[in-house]
Amino acid sequence: MLAANVRAAELTLRAFPSAAMLRRHPEPPPRQFAPLLRAAASAGVELEVANSRQLAASLDGAVREADPYFNKLLRILATRCMTPAAYYASGTFESAKERRHYGLAAPLYTHFTSPIRR
């Protein structure tokens, strides 16, 4: 589904360079990860937050067999560190960095599939 939404965003942007309806998720400022990093460190876990792929990978590895809710709690805390995602018209942001969807680690994104989720 992610690949379909990314491809739909690419094609829509190509057809409507200044008026495609896309969705972006800005990268959170590093300071917003401080509560997550403190909580993880207090539990003996080191998380990488340099980019969304590293964050996802380190969250995937932060598992405790004896505590099935530990990873879920870390993921909830990680979500709280994020900035909100928003729709925008493609002409609003010219740079690829401004158009990125941080949470999905995608360079371009639109909601094309699964309209029931909105």
Percent of the chain with pLDDT over 70: 96
Q: How do residues 20-63 score in pLDDT, each as one tens digit?
A: 999 999 999 999 999 999 999 999 999 999 889 999 999 999 99
Model pLDDT, residue 33: 95
C-alpha 88/C-alpha 21 separation (Å) is 6
Whole-number Cα distances in Å, 13 to 17, 108, 110: 5, 9, 10
Exposure string over 36-47, b if 16+ CB within 10 A, otherwise e: bbeebeeeebeb
| In the chain, domain spans | 1-27+83-118, 31-82
> What is the rounded average pLDDT of the residues 94-105?
90
Strands 21-24 and 86-89 turn out to be antiparallel
User: Which structure tokens are listed for 60?
Assistant: 């995937």
Residue of 106, 98, 79, 85 whose CA lies nearest to 25: 85
Prediction pTM value: 0.79
Res 102 pLDDT > 60: yes
Q: How far separated are the first and last CA of the chain, in Å rounded?
A: 15
Sign of CA dihedral 95, 101, 102, 105: negative
